[in-house]
């Protein structure tokens, strides 16, 4: 199965707050990530959970179109990125007739999934080279002239 992805654009949450959550799930299996997001208290976790569920659905749909099967338990997060979206610029009244700018940040969430492949047996390593004697292995010391 090729990689599948899901993107949510212009989420009304600052990228800094979103990155705190996305860093926890990067590289994990889908089931572990969904469990972590479900019980997280952060608002960003709800948004990321929606994107992750969409990526899983996209993987299933992609497999169905290719007349292939996909095991959701084998899926893991290969790439999870939060990018900065467009900023909403607002103004708030301040003292003496002035206005102070308020920047409402948005973010783009991108999650890519792939299936873990069954690992093959590890390749046997060559034995390390043996040294002849301990004296030959250590360099001779220099003595300082007094």
Structural domain including 55 reads 4-117
Structural domain includes residue 65? yes
Average pLDDT over residues 50-54: 96
Tens digits of residue pLDDT in 35-49: 999 999 999 999 999
Contact 6, 55 (CB under 8 A): yes
Question: What CATH number is given to the structural domain containing 99?
Answer: 3.90.470.10
Q: What string of H, E and C letters represents the secondary structure of 42-81?
A: CHHHHHHHHHHHHHHHHHHHHHHHCCCCCCHHHEEEEEEE
Structural domain includes residue 131? no
- Helix %, strand %, coil % of the chain (to 5): 35, 25, 35
Place of tokens 């992805």: 5
Total domain count for the chain? 1
Tens digits of residue pLDDT in 90-128: 999 999 999 999 999 999 999 999 998 755 556 667 776
């Amino acid at each position: 199965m090729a990689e599948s992805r899901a993107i949510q654009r212009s989420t009304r949450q600052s990228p800094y707050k979103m990155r705190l959550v996305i860093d926890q799930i990067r590289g994990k299996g889908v089931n572990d990530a969904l469990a972590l997001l479900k019980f997280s208290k952060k608002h960003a976790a709800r948004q990321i959970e929606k994107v992750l569920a969409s990526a899983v659905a996209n993987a299933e749909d992609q497999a169905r179109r290719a007349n292939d099967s996909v095991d959701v338990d084998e899926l893991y997060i290969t790439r999870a990125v939060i990018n900065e979206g467009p900023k909403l610029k607002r103004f708030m009244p301040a003292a003496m007739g002035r206005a102070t700018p308020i920047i409402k940040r948005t973010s783009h969430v991108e999650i890519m999934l792939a299936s873990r492949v069954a690992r093959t047996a590890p390749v046997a390593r060559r034995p390390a080279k043996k040294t002849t004697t301990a004296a030959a292995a250590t360099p001779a010391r220099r003595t300082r002239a007094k």
